[in-house]
């Protein structure tokens, strides 16, 4: 389960990459409306590019994305800068991890207790869809998240014990 949690956070955690004013998914300044981030999201697809796939500029992300079939994980962004991740432990019980986040319209910065700060680049943010990108050396990963509601039982999750 820890692997699944880290997988979700990997898509939210990325190395900042500069943006341009002509970004068709942002506003005139290339930024997204911060109010759109508030709410609950779950990852639905992921894809990865590496140098052996050819040039990044011509890479077809839509044909590379794969559906997430593991136990779903949920991430809630409060308007006050609190992030809560909900997932099931190995016993099938809901647990949560709480941290803080900052969002400047392009870069999402997340910090969970006991972990290093991580940054993610927003590719797209609408009422229903969130696409994040992570750069790690010669690899670029994207995650597609969709807006959803917390499932029954998740709201009563206990805080994950630190280990």
pLDDT in tens, 116-163: 888 889 999 999 999 999 887 788 889 999 999 999 999 899 998 754
- Higher per-residue confidence, 163 vs 16: 163
Average pLDDT, the chain: 81
Measured distance CA(77)–CA(87) in Å, rounded: 15
Domain range 2-54+64-154, CATH architecture: Beta Barrel (2.40)
- β partners of residue 100: 82, 111
Show the CA angle centred on residue 2, arms to residues 36 and 148, nearest 5°: 25
DSSP 100-112: EEEE-SSEEEEEE
Question: How much is the pTM?
Answer: 0.75
Inter-residue contact 142 to 127 (CB < 8 Å): no
The pLDDT of residue 81 is above 90? yes
Chain-centroid distance, C-alpha 149: 16
- Return the beta strands (E) in the chain as ranges: 39-50, 66-67, 74-77, 82-88, 94-103, 107-112, 118-125, 129-136, 139-147, 158-159
Asked whether 128 and 147 are in contact (CB, 8 A), the reply is yes
Count of beta carbons in the 10 Å neighbourhood of residue 11? 23
Neighbours of 127 (CB within 10 A): 8
> Any idea where the domains of the chain sit in the sequence?
2-54+64-154
Give dist(CA 43, CA 87) in Å, integer.
Answer: 12
Percent of the chain clearing pLDDT 70 (strictly above)? 80
Residues 6+ apart with CB under 8 A from 65: 45, 46, 47, 142, 144
pLDDT at 9 over 70: no
């Amino acid at each position: 389960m820890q692997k699944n949690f880290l997988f979700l956070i990997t898509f939210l955690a990325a190395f900042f990459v500069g943006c341009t004013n002509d970004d068709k998914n942002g506003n005139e300044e290339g930024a997204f409306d911060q109010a759109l981030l508030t709410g609950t999201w779950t990852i639905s697809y992921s894809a990865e590019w590496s140098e052996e796939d050819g040039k990044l500029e011509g890479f077809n992300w839509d044909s590379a994305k794969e559906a997430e079939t593991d136990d779903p994980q949920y991430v809630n962004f409060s308007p006050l800068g609190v992030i809560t991740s909900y997932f099931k432990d190995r016993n099938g019980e809901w647990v949560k991890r709480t941290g803080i986040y900052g969002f400047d319209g392009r870069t999402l910065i997340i910090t969970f207790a006991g972990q290093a700060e991580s940054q993610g680049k927003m590719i797209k943010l609408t009422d229903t869809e969130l696409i994040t990108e992570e750069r790690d050396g010669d690899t670029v990963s994207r995650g597609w998240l969709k807006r959803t509601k917390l499932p029954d039982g998740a709201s009563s999750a206990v805080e994950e014990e630190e280990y």
